[in-house]
Structure 1
Amino acid sequence: MHETVTVAHDDAAVVKMADLFDPEPATWGLRGDPYVWAALRKHLSGKDIPASLNEVLALLHAAFDELVGLDLVTEPASSVYREQYAHGGMSGGMIDLDAWRQRLIPLLTERARMRLEA
């Protein structure tokens, strides 16, 4: 009779994409940005961080495209309005695409780099 040996997987060692979203940035571009941040975090919560930064970046861009409805790379506008991210205020629902291109996506990518190198 053969004995089956089960090796437990250490879930604590698996870094999820959602882990990259803590802590939140100290500043945002427009009022809709924190809601997009939260939506991205939730959308990516079950996914492991990919093995390469290019894959991380591709995953972030694809999720942003899915949730906001535009491609950050090809969209020329600097901001866009999305009703689902409008929760009050004069710029409610406005998403600062330049902030996502220049600060927020790079912040998440840098956090992924640090985790991958750890």
Structure 2
Amino acid sequence: MLKIGELFREEPPEDVWELRGDRLLWQELGRALAFRLVPESGLELERILEEAFWEATGHSLSFCNQVLVDRFAENGQSRGGISGASWRYRLFPIVVERYEKHRASIPA
């Protein structure tokens, strides 16, 4: 059975990352969801991803544009910035697309 964390295994292309904390959040979410089975529907996956974003950042994905996460600050060069728009429109859609490809490959 596929685990949600496996959908995070391969990182997106370099041009997808908007802020330095985005890659760190990607890695953290992959670990946090490593043992959780993929749900039966894409809508449920989206709910799980939004909940994981909330738990990791303390912010609702629906209402944030940019979030600062102190634990993602790297040697003072990054303030731990997370781009809500990037997660809404680029990063989570990559995860959902991978999920849909997996679901389509399962024999009926």
CA distance in 2, matches of 1:70, 1:86: 17
Q: Which has the higher helix share?
A: 2
Percent of pairs with identical residues? 34
Q: Deviations over 1:62-96 (max 9, x none)?
A: 001001111111x1x42111101112364340111
Which of 58, 81, 96 is 2:68 aligned to? 81
1:88 alignment partner, SS class: coil
Contact 1:31 / 1:89 at 8 angstroms: preserved in 2? no
Gaps of 5+ in 1: 1-13
Inter-partner Cα distance in structure 2 for 1:63 and 1:112: 16
Quote the Cα distance in structure 2 between the aligned partners of 1:40 and 1:51: 20
SS in 1 for 2:102: helix
Residue 36, structure 1, aligned to residue 29, structure 2: no
CA distance in 2, matches of 1:115, 1:89: 39
Alignment-derived partner of residue 49 in structure 1: 38
Larger-Rg structure = 1
Answer whether contact 1:16 1:49 (CA < 8 A) is retained.
yes
Q: Verify: 1:16 aligned to 2:3, yes or no.
A: yes
Q: Equivalents in 1 of 2:82, 2:22: separation in Å?
A: 5
Q: What is aligned with 2:13?
A: 26
Residue 70 of structure 1: aligned partner: 59
In the other structure, the counterpart of 1:10 is: none
- The alignment status of 1:103 with 2:90, answered yes or no, reads yes
* TM-score relative to the length of structure 2: 0.89
Mapped pair 1:117 → 2:98 = no
CA distance in 2, matches of 1:33, 1:94: 7
Stretches of 4+ aligned residues off by more than 6 angstroms:
none
SS in 2 for 1:56: helix
Task: Give the alignment's Cα RMSD to 1 decimal.
Answer: 1.2
TM-score by length of 1: 0.82
Contact 1:16 1:47 in 2 (8 A): yes
State the distance in 2 between where 1:116 and 1:86 align: 36
Count of aligned pairs: 103
